[in-house]
Amino acid sequence: MTAIEVEHLHKTFRIPHEKRTTLFETLTGAFKPPTYETFHALRDINFTVEEGEALGIIGENGSGKSTLLKIIANILRPSSGKVTALKKLTPFLELGVGFQSDLTAAENIKIYATIMGMQKKEINDKLDEILEFAGLENFRDAKLKNFSSGMQVRLAFSTAIQTDPEILLMDEVLAVGDMEFQQKCLDVLSQYRKDGVTIVFVSHDLGAVRRFCDRTLLLNKGEQIVLGDTGDVIDRYVYGGGEEASTPSNIKNESEPAETEDSPEDKNPRWGDKTVEITNVEFYDKFGNKGFRFNSFDPMTIKIFYHAHKKVFDPVFGIALYSENGENLFGTNTELKTVEIETLEGKGHVDLIIERIPMITGRFLLTVAVHTHDQKPYDWHDKQYSFDVIPTGRDAGLFEVPCNWKI
């Protein structure tokens, strides 16, 4: 049975070119009609959500995810098209709306729970349970203005989950609080799934989307790109489905020869005599597509393109990985891996095949180099390339450590 049906949904906003804030500006502009720019937030969105299904919605910032969720929740009206919801909607969108800073935690719970549709007796019965879930039992009578922003969001989430949802709309709410509280949020979502609650879940946390969502909708600049199996859609989002991936602003795709020889002491990002020149570095995903964004634990190939201007003997190619802050994480080269290159001449490339990316999430900087066996650099590019890793699991930190618990 269908729980939500979205048909030919469009949403546009009119953005004024001039902002009239004073009486003088209003009077002088009375004979000059204001001009507007039309912004298309959503274009012809069509999908259904079945009862008991969890649908993920993903995409870059500005793709229309939150706008779509607000239209489903009846907070915004569509410009055209329609949304039909056949069950009671419970939106977890802007947690804490209606909180009053001069009231106590308990008083704010009563106000917020009333806004969420709970009855007075039910609120009183669940007050202790709400405070306990939020970890704020000792702050029952403390005024909200003395709470941190994290404490306020925990209080709002703990109140909101006391409702009995049939259709749950969630916008990034699993990112609230510390790690312990986030795990509580995940447990609540798991229970909702077991209870057959229909869920529409907007998130940048691809690991959570992969874990909880049966199908996923990918939006890009207000357009529906693909709707399907969550794993396939996340791959499409991360790897671009064969389309040219966007390049992070700090990535150097091609290296031009330096006019003069540089040395590390000069603090230049490139040095060497250029007898063998590194002309480009490219990253390839598991589909063989060039890109700069990868799922954690997926394979990746780094291609190092070179031009040997004359024949050289026994060259060594190497790489080093750094965190975005510059901490050295890993390094290797062909000599350490006992890969012999007897001679090199002309143009070609060498490949470093990474069978499984061990990093969990983040942007990583790459140094590539080619040098002699006695470390004399032919061409050294220091931290001139980078790529992003998108989390697909639930572990925290920078790297995965293979391990198992035993009880």
User: Closest Cα to residue 252, out of 128, 382, 137?
Assistant: 382
User: Closest Cα to residue 310, out of 260, 279, 276?
Assistant: 276
pLDDT tens digits along 8-48: 999 999 887 666 566 655 655 555 666 778 889 999 999 99
Percent of the chain with pLDDT over 90: 54
Q: How far apart are the first and last CA of the chain?
A: 43
Kindly report whether the global pTM for this prediction surpasses the value 0.95.
no
Give the pLDDT confidence score for residue 87 in this predicted structure. Answer: 86
Give the pLDDT confidence score for residue 23 in this predicted structure. Answer: 61
pLDDT tens digits along 372-387: 988 899 999 999 999 9
Question: Is the Cβ–Cβ distance between 40 and 199 less than 8 Å?
Answer: no
pLDDT tens digits along 199-258: 999 988 888 888 889 999 999 999 999 999 998 898 888 887 434 344 443 444 433 333
Characterise 199 by phi-psi region: left (phi > 0), alpha (psi -120 to 50), beta (else).
beta
Cβ-based neighbours of 290, under 8 Å, separated by 6 or more: 244, 245, 282, 283, 284
Q: What is the 3-state secondary structure (H, E, C) of the chain?
A: CEEEEEEEEEEEEEEECCCCCCHHHHHHCCCCCCCEEEEEEEEEEEEEEECCCEEEEECCCCCCHHHHHHHHCCCCCCCEEEEEECCCEEEECCCCCCCCCCCEHHHHHHHHHHHCCCCHHHHHHHHHHHHHHHCCHHHCCCEHHHCCHHHHHHHHHHHHCCCCCCEEEEECHHHCCCHHHHHHHHHHHHHHHHCCCEEEEECCCHHHHHHHCCEEEEEECCEEEEEEEHHHHHHHHHHHHHCCCCCCCCCCCECCCCCCCCCHHHCCCEECCCCEEEEEEEEECCCCCECCEEECCCCEEEEEEEEEEEEEECCEEEEEEEECCCCEEEEEECCCCCCCCCEEEEEEEEEEEECCCCECCEEEEEEEEEECCCCCEEEEEEEEEEEEEECCCCCCCCECCCCCCCC
Give the pLDDT confidence score for residue 35 in this predicted structure. Answer: 73
The CA distance from 90 to 199, in Å, is 10
Beta 293-295 vs 270-271: how paired, if at all? unpaired
| Sign for the pseudo-dihedral over CA of 391, 397, 401, 404 | negative
User: Closest Cα to residue 156, out of 112, 93, 124?
Assistant: 112
pLDDT tens digits along 315-326: 999 999 999 888
Tell me what the pLDDT averaged over the chain comes to: 85
pLDDT at residue 288 tops 80: yes
Range scoring the smallest mean pLDDT among 17-26, 35-44, 92-101, 336-345: 17-26
Give the pLDDT confidence score for residue 116 in this predicted structure. Answer: 78
Range scoring the smallest mean pLDDT among 180-189, 254-263, 327-336: 254-263
Give the pLDDT confidence score for residue 5 in this predicted structure. Answer: 95
pLDDT at residue 111 tops 80: yes
Q: Two tokens at 91?
A: 């939106």
